[in-house]
Structure 1
């Protein structure tokens, strides 16, 4: 499978995740988000940047529990509010959809 962005073709797996993480850029993120029926706002971009930084540091995409805890701490809200916020941005699953848009591998474990 693949997607086309700005005249270039990028390989994706059967679930639509980028195969080569180095291919990712913001134009690709927009294309992947369109496939998820998401219009990226600054809140989406903030989460995408968080995920990419987390991946750079730990070489793994965070599970939704880790993501929720980090967002709660960052925004000074409780975990329930953070979860609602994340699902508001990525309704089909914040870890799954957000990692796809961020060009990261599909998260494993507790998603």
Structure 2
């Protein structure tokens, strides 16, 4: 299994770079993952989605789909694509340090 280093911590990830141990994630790591994903500086709107993703993962064992994000996070689908242009659910899950949501290609 691959390992990456964020915030001076070795993190096991899957072949696509998603955390396999979400409990190791910290907010400073999110900033580093976001930069790698081409997002740059995370705004308050990004953090709404990142925290929502982590909360949903804790409750359901998987991150929400884009459709669910758009209906329940308080951020519209249009804005989700502005915040995370390369795929909101997948990119936000990676930044949030959770496994890739079910149904993401």
1:3 aligned counterpart, secondary structure = strand
Say which one has the larger Rg.
1
Q: Which residue of 2 aligns with 1:47?
A: 49
Deviation, 1:84, is 1.1
Query: CA RMSD of the aligned region, Å?
Result: 1.6
- Residue 110 of structure 1, CA deviation: 5.9
Q: Where does residue 68 of structure 1 map in the other structure?
A: 70
SS for the counterpart of 1:15 is: coil
Counterparts of 1:28 and 1:110 in 2: how far apart (Å)? Answer: 22
How many angstroms does 1:7 deviate by?
2.4
Runs (4+) of structure 1 moved beyond 3 Å?
A: none
Structure 1-normalised TM-score? 0.83
In the alignment, which residue of structure 2 is the partner of 1:11?
12
Q: Secondary structure at the match of 1:47?
A: helix
Distance 1:103 1:64 in 2: 17
Distance (whole Å) between structure 2 residues aligned to residue 31 and residue 2 of structure 1: 15
Unaligned runs of 5+ in 2: none
Distance 1:17 1:110, change over 3 A: closer
Q: Normalised by the size of structure 2, how large is the TM-score?
A: 0.88
DSSP 3-state at the match of 2:86: coil
Which residue is equivalent to 2:27?
A: 26
Contact 1:2–1:12 (CA under 8 A) maintained in structure 2: yes
Supply the distance in 2 between the matched residues of 1:7 and 1:110 (Cα, whole angstroms). 29
Structure 1, unmatched stretches of 5+, are 76-81
